[in-house]
Amino acid sequence: MAASRLRALVFLLPAVLCAGQGVVDIKTPALPVNGTVGHSAWLPVEINPIPEKAEITWKFTEIGRAASIARLDTSDGKIKIFEDTVFDGRVTVHENVTLQIDNLTMDDGGTYTVTLAGGGRDYTGKVTLQVYEPVSVPTVELIENITAENCNVTLLCSVEMGSNISYTWTSLGTTQKDGEVEQLSGNTGELKLSVGMSDPIHYRCTVWNAVSEESREIRVGPPCTQSQKGSLPVGGLNIDLRIVVPIIIIIVIIIVIIITIRFKCQKSRTKNREEQTQSDQPFTRVPTIPNNYVSTDLVVFNPAAHTKVPAKIPGSAARWGVSRPYPALRR
């Protein structure tokens, strides 16, 4: 009986001693707290019990960027926010000693330490904050690599914004099974496929991190069939007519323009030579006859009579009833 009482006293002795020393228990999250750029984050802490006379201090303890943030005096409940730090104007300490940080930046990520000093002892807890930039809607591109035997397709998924990004490819009704697809390349934003000449492509790329998620689908008909329709095998190479035909048309247009210009130039030179030839010929003056001139030698040949009959020309002497020969034509 006495032995059992002695064992009970030995078992209770540590608890009695700890109670007399005022042991404080500080609990902080075992996992990191996630925050989003531009938003607020809360770093929770449980202190039990909170001593009546103690100081609780929050610090940012990243190497090279350490800074004291705030201090709470439990005796009067006053909170002091340390000035001239990157946290000045952005932090709040709540009654349960939780630290709130507003307008987060990527530089706010790191380890935060809460320390309680009182009763001759210090108690410490740590909280890790991870800050993420939300991801933007991704862009999905298709790159073809066609050979005589195979149709190799690469899908590229990229984003303009986001940090600590993860990618997931999902097949949506192609030759692959529906559902998530195993990554086929080292870069998770890149998916390489080998498809049949008549196989369509329908995939979804999902980008995500701890605070956001976005996705986009790509759906096209058989890419290799469409490309091969406009190709011709020449010496083991596939010549794409969609590229060759426009080049040929441009060359033909240029040749037609050159021929037209040369023809116009030749025609212009020929015209100039003709005008020059006409201008070099001598000018022959044609004599003119006055309207009132009358010739007496002008006769009209009568084939039947073989005789010369004086011609009666209007305006001659016969007009006045005078029968006389016309004066000879002066040359």
What pLDDT score does 299 carry? 52
What pLDDT score does 102 carry? 97
β-strand partners of 42? 100
Alpha carbon 52 to its chain centroid, in Å, reads 61
What pLDDT score does 8 carry? 37
pLDDT tens across 60-100, in order? 998 888 999 999 998 888 999 998 889 999 999 998 899 99
Contact of 175 with 183, CB cutoff 8 Å: no
| pTM of the model as a whole | 0.56
Residue with more model confidence, 186 or 144: 144
CATH 3.40.50.1100 fits 22-132, yes or no: no
* Triad 244, 250, 254: Cα angle to 5°: 145
Q: Residue 296 carries which DSSP code?
A: S
What pLDDT score does 90 carry? 95
Nearest C-alpha neighbor of 39 from the set 211, 213, 214, 215: 211
Question: Confidence band (pLDDT; 50, 70, 90) for 293?
Answer: low
What pLDDT score does 187 carry? 58
pLDDT tens across 225-273, in order? 644 444 444 443 445 556 778 899 999 999 999 999 988 888 888 877 7
What pLDDT score does 284 carry? 55
Q: Give whole-number Cα distances, 297 to 212, 309, 310, 325, 326, in Å.
A: 123, 10, 8, 8, 6
Can you give the length of the chain in residues? 331
* Triad 127, 129, 130: Cα angle to 5°: 150
Distance CA 133, CA 211 (A): 8
What pLDDT score does 278 carry? 64
For the domain with range 139-230, which CATH number is right: 1.25.40, 2.40.50, 1.10.30, 2.60.40? 2.60.40
pLDDT tens across 91-125, in order? 999 988 999 999 999 999 999 999 999 878 889 99
* Residue type, position 28, single letter: T
pLDDT tens across 305-319, in order? 555 545 554 554 444
Taking 50 as the threshold, does the pLDDT of residue 19 lie above it? no
CATH 2.60.40.10 region(s) of the chain? 22-132
Kindly report whether the peptide bond that precedes residue 325 is cis, defined as omega within 30 degrees of 0: no
Contact of 101 with 108, CB cutoff 8 Å: yes
β-strand partners of 203? 171, 218
